[in-house]
Every structure is written in C-alpha cells, then in structure tokens.
Amino acid sequence: MRKYFEVDPWKIIEENFDPAYNRVAESVMSLGNGQMGIRGNFAEKYTGDSLAGTYLAGVYYPDKTVVGWWKIGYPEYFAKVPNATNFIGIDLSIDEERIDLAKVDFSDFSRELNMKEGYLERNFTVNLATDKHVQITEKRFLSKSENEIAVIRYSVKSLDQNIMLTLTPYLDGNVRNEDANYNDYFWNPLTQEIKEEAGFLTMETRKTNFRVATAMNWQLNKANYEVHRLEEDNWVGNKITVKATANEELILDKYIAVTTSRDYKKEIVTKKAVSKVSAAAKKGYQQLFREHTNAWQKIWQDSDIIIEGDPAAQQAIRFNIFQLNQTYTGEDPRLNIGPKGFTGEKYGGLTYWDTEAYCLPFYLATHNNQVSKNLLLYRYRHLEKAKENAGKLGLAGALYPMVTINGEECHNEWEITFEEIHRNGAIAYAIFDYVRYTDDKSYLADYGLPVLTEISRFWADRVQYNKQKNNYMILGVTGPNEYENNINNNWYTNKIAVWTLNYTLQAYQYAKINHPDKYEMWQQKLNLSETELKKWQDISKKMYYPRLEEYDIYAQQDGYQDKEQITKKDIAESELPLNQNWSWDKILRSPFIKQADVLQGIYFFLDEFTRESIKKHFDYYEPRTVHESSLSPCVYAIIAAEIGYLKKAYQLYLRTARLDLDNYNEDTDDGLHITSMAGTWLAIVKGFARMKVKNNQLNFSPFLPEAWDGYSFKILFRKRRLKITIKNDTILIELEDGQPLKLKIYEQEAEVIQGKVISIPLKDQRVCQ
C-alpha cells in the first residue's frame, strides 16, 4: 500500500513523477466513455516503463488457449480486447532535442485527473541544457456527448527565450498486447492516408475481422508554420515546425474519431471516421468540452455521494463512481462490464458474474431503467451460446460462461470453467433484483422466462440424487471461495440452485395469471412439461445443505470442519497475501476463504435469516476470510452493518474504497478493479444506509460512521429521484423529482412529496463487537 496521490474531493493529483510507479499512475489516470478508453500514457515519446493502452468496447481477438493438459469442454481461445491504434501521440522536439521524460531534465511535474468534468491534465517544465525553460501542458478528454470523439489540447510555452518547436501529431497502429498468449499481433492493416492537418488508419482484427478506423485532425493557434507529411507501415503523422517567442503559448488541438464495424457497414467505417473528426474540428475545442462537461454534470446529479469530514473517503467514492460511469453507459445492450474496464489488459476486458452480483445494483439506482435492463438483455441474447456451453459438458439447459465477450466460454482453468457453476445463479438473481427494484414485472414474461427455464434445466440435470439419504446433492464444484476446488455440496451453490428453481416456478405462475398469451408461448416454445416442473419442486424440497451443528450455522461445504481450524490471527502478516506466499497445495488444505462464500448467500437472501443467525455466520466465517478478492470486503461490510458491527463495517469498507488509489494489493499497475468499485457504492448505500426493497417498498435503516460528519446520496427509484442525507443525528429524505412515495425508515412508514423534506432522528444501532 502506498499513499501516492494527493487528497482532493474532485481530483486525483500526482506530484513529482516517480518512474517506478508510472504504470500505477497510468491505470488510475485512465479515461473512458463507454465506447472506448485510454490509459493515462504520455502523449510524447516515453522510453521508460509504461503499459500503453487504447481499448474499444466490444472489439476482441480470440487468443489461442494455453493449457498443459487439454480437457474436453475447454474453450479453444481466451478472448482479449486488443490494444488498438494509439491516437494520443504527439511527439515534441525543442531546438532539435526530443522530449522524452525518461531522458530530459524536467521539473514541476503534475498529472491530474479531474473527475467532476472528466478530463486528464498534465504539466511539466523542461529544463534544457541551453538554460531554456519550456512549460508543457496537455489536457485530454474522451467525449461523453459524442462517444466516438477524443480531444487533446497540447500547449507549449517558453518561459524565457525564443525556441524552435517540432510537433508531430500521429496515429500508430503498431501496437501489441503484453498479455498475448503467443505474442501474436492482433491486427491486419487495411488502408491509411495522411494529408496536411489530417490523416487516418484503418485496421482489422485478425480472425474476428472487426474493422476499426481512427482519424485525426489538428489545428494550431498560429499561422506561420511548416508541415510535412510522414508515413510508415501502420503509422501516419504530420511534422509541424514552428518558431515561438519567449512567453508565447503555442496550442495544438488534436481531434480524433474512432469508428468500428460493430456500428457501421465495413465499407463506410473509414468514411464515417473521417467525416466525424472533420465535424468535431469544426465544432472546436471549447464547444466539445462544454458538451462533454454538461454530460458529466448530469451523471453526477444522479450518482454522486457526498461525504463530510473525511476528504480521503470523499475522493475514493467519487473515484469509484467516476470509473464505473466511464466503463459502462448502458446505451448498447451488446456491451457489458469488464473487471478492468478500459484500464488494462488483465482478464481480457471481458464479462464475469461480477456484473450481476455487484454492478447491477449501482446502475439500477443511479441510471434510468433501460441501462440495467440492457445488462439483463446482454445475457438474454447469449442464451443459445449458454445452452451450447452446457451441452459441451454433457448437460441440459444453459450454463452461462465464467468469462465471455460474445456468449462463448473462454476461461480455461478446469476448476473455474467446469466447477464454478454458481455463476448461473447470479444471472437468475439479477433478473429478480431488477424486477424487485423497478417493478417491471413484464420483463419476466418478455425475456426472463426462457433464461430462468434453461438455467433451471441445467441445475436439474447437474444435481445428483442420493437414494440412501433421500437428498439431492451437487458434487464436484468450486464455490465463490476459489481457495477450495472440486468440493461437494458447497452451501451457496446448492442454495442458489434451489432458489433459482423456486423463482422460475413463481415466474411461471405470475405469467400464467398476468400474461397468459406469453405464458402459453413460452411453455410451447420451450417444450415445458408438468413432469419437469414437478421435478424442480422435488429437488427444491429434498436439496441437501451441509451444516456445522456445533455452531448452528451452514457449512461452506462437506468436510470444511475437517480442516485445521485456524483463523487469520494465527498467521503472520508477512504470509499475506496467501496467494503470493503459500503454495496452492497449502492454500487448498487450509480453512482460509478468499472471498465471501456462505456470506454471499446470506447477503443475497438476508430476509431469510434472523439477525442472530446472521451474526453466528459472520462471527465464524469472517475470521477465516482473508479477502484476497477485491469483491469480498463489500459483502462483509454490508452484513456487518446489518448486525450492528458498525466499526467492523467501516473497517471493511476502507479495504475496498481506496483499493486502487493506494494500491492495497500491489496490482493496480495492470489496471483498476472496476467491478469491485461497485462494491464501495454498495457498502455505503446498502451497508451504511441499509437500503432495501422489501415487500415492494423502499426501506432505510441508516447509521453514520464515526469517522464521518455526514453523508448524502441520491437514488433513482421507479421514476423518482430521492436525496438521502445522514447528518447531525438526523436523517433527511427529500423527493427531488416524481410522484409521492411511501417508504419505511427503521420499519416506520412515511410519505415523501416534492417540496417537503422528511426529518427523522438517527438511531443508535451499535452492538458490542
């Protein structure tokens, strides 16, 4: 862990450049707009350590799988989001000396991410051997109002003497992925062109044939300059030579447009990029920036969380919200949320079950319904691929992939690909979560039933009936705790399987009464029989759940108690994280839990457990959980808040809030933990404020962390916007937009109407810890 960045409520500020920490800073300073993203790389040439990154949503390359022992059912490739044409490039020479921050003398360096307005700014002063001092400022943004447009303003100012400048804005298609399995080059070049003040590169991914055109246009705020066209293989640029007098500021505005064959017919992809960048240049920097910041203002209006009395916490939550909104906008149902978003290559930029389990609630409460609905439609559109995936394992129904970009499984670790089947339950739970929050029950009849049916068919085929015990079991699985493999009867897996079966049966009953035509349609189309439904009911009634009777809790799986029962306090800090210090054999034989497993199920189904039962489970499992997944602390924080362990809830929140800003796990260099950022929002809204939808009604039972003076947030709920403020031993609830709403605070019903703020005393919910 390193506290490297300055604390500011709206900015991430890097002072005094540390080359050894550059990759971390590049990750943190990443920009995105849902359509594309770039790491915080330097515009000018840099020969020091750097992970260059330009990523385009939905564009991928099938990188051939690397395995030591091939098994039937393995995917043949791991999809990778390829590093695309580098469009930020602007090389700089001053008096024929090339500016490379790995080689030149410089001072007054700063790199600053402005989250309120969504831009990155970098400043430094070059100190030349000729005793000249030149100030450079770069400001860039990826437009939130026009998501195929990027803009860079690059300014150079001599502080004391006349200088000769060479500026070279360029496009570079000679880029590779560091994580390529066989060091493949993922692109084929097609066409390129360079003119004075404009140029383009058109490339196409190998194998998948995504066509991508990147076009640039530039403007200089001075008329007298020389320009030359430069062109190499997969590279185009303009060399601009211009004189600058002392204290004269030269400003180069570079406009970029990126278009792909995902959105246009291949034959017009290049034409679209050229026309869009030309239109952007005509609009000009100021208008584009104004439209961009207006879009961010609207986003912050609905999704900001304000924390008083703790500037570091304020910066952290805004950083997490900012990155979530940079990664996914919900405008395109073909897209989803990768664990690293647009900030790095790890995990291929692909989709995991993180979306449904952690990210969906954030988008439900901070965006219009269509955004979260599109996350569900993404899985609906992949249903046939999920059925194929189950078929490859010799099973009926649908098994959604652990890792995907197009519906096909592309994860190749056997204990994940074949065994971590609990992911199917998260897909079903997301449908329930969406319907519960939005009250859009029509989704069940329109799209939910076929997905739920095929997932239920998978569970029905995957269970095993034990005649001696008259129980159904699920054998040979990996639960959410990936420090256990090939186990029998993981409680969470068994629980989510039965819950899915029951919810599917309830969904059919709802459709039969309220949408009889669609009920009949799906029953016939899916060839659903009464025999099949009765089988699901039988599995539900006879599912086996392992227990630890001594503790009156559910066991994580069969045989868990056979392990040596040590806890975190029994191991030295120097041995953590376990995955970097212990052998895999030692980890598998230990009782230590990577992330919430039983507690994941309790989090999903809190209302099924008494407070005392939740406490027993938490008291047993939390001391054994090492939280070596970024997704773990938020679940425990929510549950700790539920049982009144308020200090513990806050401690767990801190583990995820500044995970990347302070590089807790020493792995931010390869990208941010985007999906765990949603967990930070969950910890505050569902943990500290204890927001729930219960019996079709919004509920709050908030507390105020001792380290804070107050906090407030807004949520969108069924065409209403509410503002919730917790401050000075008081809860304030205001309806900013929409019709009156009845809700519950500490189980007491109240009604909010526009123009009237509800004020309720804050209750003390602490218990001894």
Catalytic residue set = 482
Question: Do residues 48 and 101 touch, judged by C-beta distance below 8 A?
Answer: yes
Query: What amino acid is encoded at 435 in this protein?
Result: V
Question: Do residues 325 and 150 touch, judged by C-beta distance below 8 A?
Answer: no
Question: Do residues 36 and 27 touch, judged by C-beta distance below 8 A?
Answer: no
Angle, vertex CA 600, rays to CA 397 and CA 717, nearest 5: 85
- Which among 335, 676, 621 has a CA at the least distance from the CA of 483? 621
Sign of CA dihedral 716, 720, 723, 729: negative
Helix, strand, coil % (nearest 5) of the chain?
A: 35, 25, 40
Q: 401 preceded by cis ω (within 30°)? A: no
**Rounded Cα–Cα distance for residues 261 and 212 (Å):** 7
The strands making up 106-114's β-sheet, listed across from edge to edge, are 11-15, 106-114, 119-127, 133-142, 149-158, 249-260, 211-220, 198-205, 187-195
Bridge partners of 252, per DSSP, are: 154, 220
Q: Give the alpha-carbon dihedral of 139, 28, 113, 320, to 10 degrees.
A: 140
Cβ-defined contacts of 742-745 (< 8 Å, 24+): 742/697, 743/697, 743/698, 743/699, 743/700, 744/694, 744/697, 744/698, 744/699, 744/700, 745/699, 745/700, 745/701
**Rounded Cα–Cα distance for residues 415 and 755 (Å):** 55
Bridge partners of 112, per DSSP, are: 13, 121
Bridge partners of 121, per DSSP, are: 112, 139
- Segment (H or E) for 521: helix 516-525
Residue 244, token pair as written in the block = 């600058």
Question: Do residues 111 and 442 touch, judged by C-beta distance below 8 A?
Answer: no
Q: Is 107 helix (H, G, I), strand (E, B) or coil?
A: strand
**Distances from the Cα of 286 to the Cαs of 33, 116, 229, 293, 467, in angstroms?**
18, 17, 27, 11, 73
Bridge partners of 164, per DSSP, are: 243
Compute the radius of gyration of the chain from its Cα atoms. Answer: 27
- Which among 409, 327, 360 has a CA at the least distance from the CA of 76? 409
- Which among 151, 205, 146 has a CA at the least distance from the CA of 331? 146
Bridge partners of 464, per DSSP, are: 473
The 10 Å Cβ neighbour count of residue 181 is 13
**Distances from the Cα of 540 to the Cαs of 414, 533, 660, in angstroms?**
28, 11, 42
Question: Do residues 160 and 246 touch, judged by C-beta distance below 8 A?
Answer: yes
